[in-house]
Structure 1
């Protein structure tokens, strides 16, 4: 399963009544709180076998599904190099 599908599936559990587009900013929509942010980071680390470092904690890495996909892809490339 591709990264975007896995991320979308995770987000859908939290936004059940809203069809989230791949470029929609989840922060500006008001869906994110600190608990959700922690759950998202934990999901990404476990699902994609990456480590989210303190320097990765830029909101721009997590604003949209596409941004999350790009972030995960960058982390996976860094692991493999």
Structure 2
């Protein structure tokens, strides 16, 4: 699942910034392309694509720096038990 999530996230980011050579470990915020609008689009993409809701406490920049960190976040959230 991690590799699939990582690939989909990379595809999304590369689609928005085709001029940048981005790999799974690179900090996308370090490129200087990412603004607050794209950050929100990224959150919405991850939630919709992977069927998760990202809780407020997980909306930290460190969870979104790279495709690897986003894929790890997806994995954590998909494996968390639902609290009723």
TM-score (norm 1): 0.91
1:2 aligns with 2:42: no
Structure 2 match to 1:15:
17
TM-score (norm 2): 0.88
Q: Distance in 1 between matches of 2:12 and 2:81?
A: 23
Aligned residues: 81
**What is the root-mean-square deviation of aligned Cα atoms in Å?**
1.7
Unaligned runs of at least 5 residues, structure 1 = none
2:28 aligns to what SS in structure 1?
coil
Deviation (angstroms), 1:80:
6.6
Give every structure 1 segment of 4 or more consecutive aligned residues whose post-TM-superposition deviation is greater than 2 Å: none
Instruction: Map 1:1-81 onto structure 2 (within 5 A).
Output: 2-79=4-81
Mark the CA change 1:42 to 1:79 in structure 2 (over 3 Å): closer, same or farther. Answer: farther
Unaligned runs of at least 5 residues, structure 2 = none
